[in-house]
Amino acid sequence: MGKARDQRARPRRRRLSRRRWLWICGGGAAAAVAGIAVGNDAGRLTITRMELRPPGLGRDLDGFTIAHLTDLHRGLYTPAAFIAHAVAETNALRPDLIVLTGDYVTRSAYYLASCAEALRELSAPRGKLAVFGNHEHWTDLDVARRQLTATAGCDLLQNESITFMEGSAVLCIVGLDDPWTRHEDFGRAFASVPKGAPTILLSHTPDIAAEAASRSVDLVLCGHTHGGEVVLPWIGPPYVWARTGRRFGSGLNHEGTTAVYTNRGIGRGFLPFRLNCPPEIALFTLRAPQEAGTHE
């Protein structure tokens, strides 16, 4: 399987309007007060379990489980011990496959080694797949690639796919390079996808939902938003870091028939705490479609 790299120049970061910036600052100030008064959710790791029935999934892959981790953000606010805790919780779920969708560190490549050492302990029979996030492109991509593959033992997907087979059943996993920095390439990523195969797309951000739906992707697994990190009563998150806004801010949503799951992530980025938005590991159990006339 060829490893394709996209050499396009990194775009400028999106500038915020004055009104939006004031909204974020005001919401952040309110969140800080609320966080002090109510408490910090950053250490309250949660497990989300979900069953999905991709059309066309063969019976031989019925019950296949996928654990999804994202946005570990090893750095000043997220110690290696907490990532190790998330790894232990993931292994306890005994998934068939583990996928990681980017932002392993915050700002500095210095933290990549300790993050990769923790991720080395992840274990699943079908392995662990990883894609890049924006922070890997903002730090040192070569170091990130080396640490994720050589140290952590991940199979890195950069605009490419891998196909799993069990008996007569097929499942295709497609991994995009980071869309936030405009390094995604759908043409390359889907070049080897078998026609009509059940397909799961790994993407750091949910911004590619419309394009994924146009290619009949069954499920998108993504992160980047952190669920907003702060969710205020009656208001929701003051801001969601996604070009699609709040629509795919967190949890399960849909673009046409394509399911999009935006994971709240493990670490912290914008703020040193979380409010009403605890870190998350997601576990998906894939079920073959029920035959006509059968009942659960």
For residue range 168-182, list pLDDT tens digits in order.
999 999 999 999 999
Mean of pLDDT values over 198-213: 97
β-pairing verdict for 280-286 and 64-69: antiparallel
Candidate from 11-15, 97-101, 219-223, 256-260 with smallest mean pLDDT: 11-15
Strand intervals (E) in the chain: 46-52, 64-69, 97-100, 128-130, 155-156, 160-166, 169-175, 199-202, 219-222, 251-255, 258-262, 280-286
Q: Is the pLDDT confidence value at 136 over 90?
A: yes
Domain that holds residue 24: 19-286
Q: Is 14 within a domain?
A: no
Mean of pLDDT values over 130-151: 97
| pLDDT band at 19; cut points 50, 70, 90 | low
Distance CA 162, CA 189 (A): 10
Q: Which residues pair with 165 in a beta bridge?
A: 170
What's the chain's average pLDDT?
A: 87
Smallest CA-to-CA distance from 278 within 20, 114, 89 is with 89
CB neighbours (10 Å) of residue 110? 13
- 271 Cβ neighbours under 8 A, 6+ residues apart: 28, 31, 32, 35, 229, 230
Mean of pLDDT values over 276-286: 96
Q: Is 9 within a domain?
A: no
Query: Domain holding 94: CATH number?
Result: 3.60.21
Amino acid 100: pLDDT: 98
Q: Is 139 within a domain?
A: yes
Alpha helical stretches, state H, 220-268: none
Q: The pTM is what?
A: 0.85
Smallest CA-to-CA distance from 275 within 224, 226, 242 is with 226
Token representation of residue 95: 């998934």
Q: Is the pLDDT confidence value at 35 over 50?
A: no
Q: Is 221 within a domain?
A: yes
Q: Is 7 within a domain?
A: no
Q: Is 10 within a domain?
A: no
Find tokens 């492109």 and name the residue: 137
Amino acid 291: pLDDT: 66
Q: Is 296 within a domain?
A: no
Q: Please count the structural domains in the chain.
A: 1
Smallest CA-to-CA distance from 109 within 70, 154, 148, 82 is with 148
Q: Is the pLDDT confidence value at 163 over 80?
A: yes
Q: Is 230 within a domain?
A: yes
Amino acid 43: pLDDT: 72
Candidate from 33-37, 74-78, 147-151 with smallest mean pLDDT: 33-37
Which long-range CB contacts under 8 A does 287-292 form with residues at least 24 apart?
A: 287/51, 287/52, 287/53, 287/57, 287/62, 287/63, 288/53, 288/57, 288/58, 288/59, 288/61, 288/62, 288/169, 289/53, 289/54, 289/55, 289/56, 289/57, 290/53
Find tokens 């029935």 and name the residue: 53
